[in-house]
Amino acid sequence: MFRLLFWIAVIFAAIWLWRRFKTPSKPRPAPRQDEETQPMVRCAQCGVHVPRALALSRDDRWYCSRAHLEQDQSPGER
């Protein structure tokens, strides 16, 4: 009985090794990177970071939305 189990294990190991080395390993795809990265700016009202292209600015301060631009009346950095 032990010999039968031994030979079954050897056969399965041989098949597994044969399949593993027969097929070439697939190269891992490179992590997707945007072609052009955009700088991020921090909203002076709430502190959320948004891309500079989407942010609104007034007096060297950046805002994430029109509402925050209008709400922020205080001078200086938050």
Domain count across the chain: 1
Task: Give the SS3 label for residue 57.
Answer: strand
pTM of the model: 0.47
Average pLDDT over residues 66-76: 76
pLDDT band at 78 (very low <50, low <70, confident <90, very high): very low
SS3 per residue for 2-52 = HHHHHHHHHHHHHHHHHHHHHCCCCCCCCCCCCCCCCCEEEECCCCCEEEC
Does 46 fall in a domain?
A: yes
CB 52 within 8 A of CB 36: no
Does 30 fall in a domain?
A: no
Does 75 fall in a domain?
A: yes
User: Which range marks the domain in which residue 73 is found?
Assistant: 39-78
Does 22 fall in a domain?
A: no
Does 21 fall in a domain?
A: no
Q: Which residues pair with 58 in a beta bridge?
A: 61
pLDDT tens, position by position, 51-63: 999 999 888 899 9
pLDDT tens, position by position, 10-21: 999 999 998 888
